Structure 1
Amino acid sequence: MDAHARNGGGDPYDDGDPDSDPYGDDDSETGTAAVKLTVSQQKYLAAGKQKQDMHAILTVEVEGVGGAAGPGPGSILAQVLVIDCSSSMNAPPEKFRAAKAAAIAALRMLPDDTPFAVVRGAHDATMAYPATPTMVRATPRLRAEAERAVHGLLAAGGTAVGTWLDLTRRLLTEQPAPIRHALLLTDGRNEHDERMPLAWVLDRCEGQFICDGWGIGSDWDAQVLLQISSRLHGASSAVRKHADLPGEYERLMRGLLAKAVPELVIEVAPRPGNTVRYLKQVEPTEVSLVDTGPEKGPSAFVTRAWGNELRRYQLCVSADPTGRRTRVDLQLAVVGVAMPAGGEALLPTPLPCLVHWTDDPALSSRTDNQNDFFSRHLELGKTLTAASDAFRRDEKDRSEQLLGKAVQLAQQVNDQSQLAKLRRLVEVLDATAGRVKLHPGLKPVDFQHLITASSRSAFPGSSGGETEAPPDVTAPCPSCGEPVATGAKFCTYCGARKAAAT
């Protein structure tokens, strides 16, 4: 359901008449990015006195980025490169050389006029380039100076990731660029967290910039990287071969430079008596979102840095059946996409999430394909973390058992990519039953690669089951005032004929 409107998300009770929209739905000649929104859910809940959770998957897709005339990437992006320079980066020396080569590859791709800086990370954070804690705008001369500074870096000291991110925050928050991004590389664990606790730093950094984290070597901590990327709207990755890192940095930078929509806001307006519990990104990576809406008003969740891409979000709304009719579709909440002032895009008409209270257990026990996939995928990630912890404690049998469960979950959602990665750790004897056997010679880092990969997901194919398109426009019922689909002949709240409202 992709009806577009140019307003900040549209009025959920708009009459929906396409003839009344001066902009129409065709963006083919405007060169303006277009945002699409769809809702997938299982609308049936068991009728009763207790509140229940309704889950829905919101798919947001942006198209047309890059066709509009406007400022180049250099004027909307500010970039900080954070390089782990702890002493372990020299073991072996090829690792540190690869890290430097990757940073230089990223520097060379920065468009002119892009604010940038390079941070040296160890048991504290210092400036690698420029020499003072500030950012400079890219020119051929300054990029060359930064390359020489990176070449001259030495590895010494420990690892205190919190200090690295805090310096990055201070650098980026001074920049007016709409997209502020950090790229962090580490080969170790956050062993000096007491210097500046990471959890405290992330509280200060959240909403200030985006951070992608990379692991290299054999002793980095996937959980630290995932904690950072989830809170700071980025992604976590790793390389098995040092020589692959520069190419991966180039790929990431190409994707970053294709971003042209700094942020979109997903708004959720529940009907009275219902409560928004959470909204979180589940595809392509897991990202925590914070409700920034007013205390008395729609929930608002900011999403960062869009190019031409599709993302999915899991919405949870607590539904209250008290006083509600059964055996009819009722509007539970309205979801929409808005853009901050100054942005320009064709935005979708808001859509409702529905609830249908029923006494039929055959209906209330149904599942939605997309919700089921992402729920199992999230469980898969937790299972892999538990398997890794058991392996570190030398509880091989327990680790094997948990990896069997992970294989079973991946099989259930037909995640062939994840199954292929799991086979690096285990011999799969029976995927359906979850029977596996650990490969000999495994190392803890093998689990870290698997955990990082599990944070990325993609729903296979089109949705099915309970993914019928809900009515996308409503109007107040003339009898009771409740919003009802404009095409409906009768009000689903009071049963009155609704001809007058249409």
Structure 2
Amino acid sequence: MTFAVDVDQNPYLAAGETRVDAIVTVTASGDLTAPAPPSDVLEVIVIDCSGSMQGDRIRAARQATAAAIAELRDGVAFAVIAGTHVASQVYPPSGGTAVAGEATRAEATTVVRFLQAGGGTGIGSWLAAAGAIAAAHPGSIKHAILLTDGKNGEAPDWFAEQLRSVTGLIACDCRGVGTDWQVDELRAIASALLGTVDIVADPADLATDFRSLMGAAMGKGVADVALRLWTPRGATIRFVKQVSPAVEELTDRRAEAGPLRGDYPLGSWGAESREYHVCVEVAPGAVGDEMLAGRVTLVRSGSDEALGDQGRMRAVWTEDVALSTRISPGVAHYTGQAELAQAIQEGLAARKAGDEPTATARLGRAVALADVSGNDGTARLLEKVVEVVDAPSGTVRLRKDVSAADEMTLDTRSVKTVRVRGGEG
């Protein structure tokens, strides 16, 4: 079980400069690319069964849950929770978990066919129920799918407390069906629980989405991975963030791991590669000085068990202006991708608040960033919200009639990034 770590940076600094930036590419290799033994995997499916789910939505949710159950590998532990103002475990009905097999998949699918819509929406309670199940499976790859179509009805403090209580216990991919749910609400859950958030505007698309989510979950090979960052005495960590496949801030999630070391949780891994932007401030040096500015290792969370290679960040002070002013293509690209996500979210918030000048400026900036980075998927989503006059300069006009689904799709997918174009890395 190994992780390959590659560091892309320009190590050269002008005399007195202190900021060191690097893009760290982490790739799972060897045995990590094989799915974990089924006995080491837990899946929890949480389905909104509140009153607003009546009609096409509850029918689609039943079908999607059945599709997800069909993807479970034999031997995987699983449970299904129906969520209203409370959480009700519908399978297995006696509590705990069932072991996936032909009989249990059939039983669970039968139970799911009878799910009915009625009651309120208590997402914090749903999370707490999933967390309680996860707590009984230490060391396993623990994953949940959570579906809702509306805004949480619980008190904000209660919801926040429940979310904190499950953070670190289970990963969760969140999906909103329709357009009456809150993007920020599900984004907060997905961010805290190292998952994803997306919109499924048409209920008919739920089954395909759930099948894909469960298929990806079944491919995970190792649980509870952390990025361990060592920095020299006197250094300050400005930030650590995931920048591919999506932007995710990790800085505040640091857990101290000994002198000069801290761990940042990365969740479970399969056959995949992710990229991280690490920025460190070191003590200023003189021309000719050289130092190790940071060292990155992958470990199992809460332990010193290394999972492969180390990556090293260097700082070399030089009087050669051509060297010290060069920006690593990876650093430049992902700095722009992070700014792109921020510009979209700020632009949509301004549009919602009726601040058209700010919305136009921020969404225009987003168009320019998407154009220069080659993020064609985001560019297409932006075109549904703004009329692009000139992409390179970011000259746009706000569209007057924008569907809620198009706006929410742009918002939820704003954090998705593209890798550095070929020949630039």
> How does the TM-score come out when normalised to structure 2?
0.91
| CA distance in structure 2 between the aligned counterparts of 1:423 and 1:361, rounded to whole angstroms | 40
| 1:337 alignment counterpart | 298
CA contact 2:77–2:97 (8 Å) conserved in 1 = yes
| CA distance in structure 1 between the aligned counterparts of 2:315 and 2:305, rounded to whole angstroms | 33
| 1:300 alignment counterpart | 263
* Equivalent runs, 1:229-268 vs 2, <5 Å: 229-268=190-229
1:202 to 159, 163, 167: 163
Bigger Cα displacement from structure 2, 355-364 vs 175-184: 355-364
Shift of 1:193: 3.5
Greater Cα radius of gyration, structure 1 or 2: 1
**Higher strand fraction (1 or 2):** 2
Shift of 1:293: 3.1
| 1:60 alignment counterpart | 26
Shift of 1:189: 2.0
SS of 1:454's equivalent in the other structure is: coil
| CA distance in structure 2 between the aligned counterparts of 1:225 and 1:373, rounded to whole angstroms | 27
Letter in 2 for 1:456: K
CA contact 1:35–1:63 (8 Å) conserved in 2 = yes
CA contact 2:36–2:222 (8 Å) conserved in 1 = no
Shift of 1:77: 1.0
CA contact 2:33–2:271 (8 Å) conserved in 1 = no
| 1:430 alignment counterpart | 390
Change (3 A) 1:293 1:318: same
CA contact 2:329–2:420 (8 Å) conserved in 1 = no
| CA distance in structure 2 between the aligned counterparts of 1:406 and 1:421, rounded to whole angstroms | 11
2:58 is the counterpart of 1:96 = yes
* Equivalent runs, 1:104-183 vs 2, <5 Å: 104-176=66-138, 178-183=140-145
CA contact 2:32–2:269 (8 Å) conserved in 1 = no
2:41 is the counterpart of 1:80 = no
Bigger Cα displacement from structure 2, 260-269 vs 163-172: 260-269
CA contact 2:347–2:362 (8 Å) conserved in 1 = yes
Shift of 1:394: 3.5
| 1:457 alignment counterpart | 417
| CA distance in structure 2 between the aligned counterparts of 1:271 and 1:344, rounded to whole angstroms | 21
Bigger Cα displacement from structure 2, 55-64 vs 275-284: 275-284
| CA distance in structure 2 between the aligned counterparts of 1:387 and 1:406, rounded to whole angstroms | 9
* Equivalent runs, 1:464-475 vs 2, <5 Å: 464=424
CA contact 1:42–1:367 (8 Å) conserved in 2 = yes
Q: 1:273-309 CA deviation, whole Å, 9 max, x = no partner?
A: 2133432222112334322233524222232211111
Change (3 A) 1:332 1:257: same
CA contact 1:86–1:121 (8 Å) conserved in 2 = yes
SS of 2:344's equivalent in the other structure is: helix
Unaligned runs of 5+ in 2: none
| CA distance in structure 1 between the aligned counterparts of 2:68 and 2:8, rounded to whole angstroms | 38
| CA distance in structure 2 between the aligned counterparts of 1:286 and 1:228, rounded to whole angstroms | 15
| Superposed CA RMSD | 2.6
1:225 to 186, 193, 205: 186
CA contact 2:150–2:182 (8 Å) conserved in 1 = yes
| CA distance in structure 2 between the aligned counterparts of 1:330 and 1:450, rounded to whole angstroms | 43
| 1:483 alignment counterpart | none
Change (3 A) 1:61 1:39: same
Letter in 2 for 1:392: K
| CA distance in structure 1 between the aligned counterparts of 2:14 and 2:108, rounded to whole angstroms | 62
Bigger Cα displacement from structure 2, 260-269 vs 162-171: 260-269
Change (3 A) 1:308 1:345: farther
| CA distance in structure 1 between the aligned counterparts of 2:69 and 2:417, rounded to whole angstroms | 29
Change (3 A) 1:306 1:222: same
Change (3 A) 1:118 1:244: same
Change (3 A) 1:165 1:399: same
Number of aligned residue pairs:
423
CA contact 1:279–1:315 (8 Å) conserved in 2 = yes
2:280 is the counterpart of 1:314 = no
> What stretches of structure 1 move > 6 A for 4+ residues in a row?
340-346
CA contact 2:297–2:307 (8 Å) conserved in 1 = no
Shift of 1:357: 2.9
SS of 1:197's equivalent in the other structure is: helix
| 1:189 alignment counterpart | 151
Change (3 A) 1:179 1:419: same
2:408 is the counterpart of 1:448 = yes
Q: 1:35-71 CA deviation, whole Å, 9 max, x = no partner?
A: 21100123233433xx843221110011344776x96
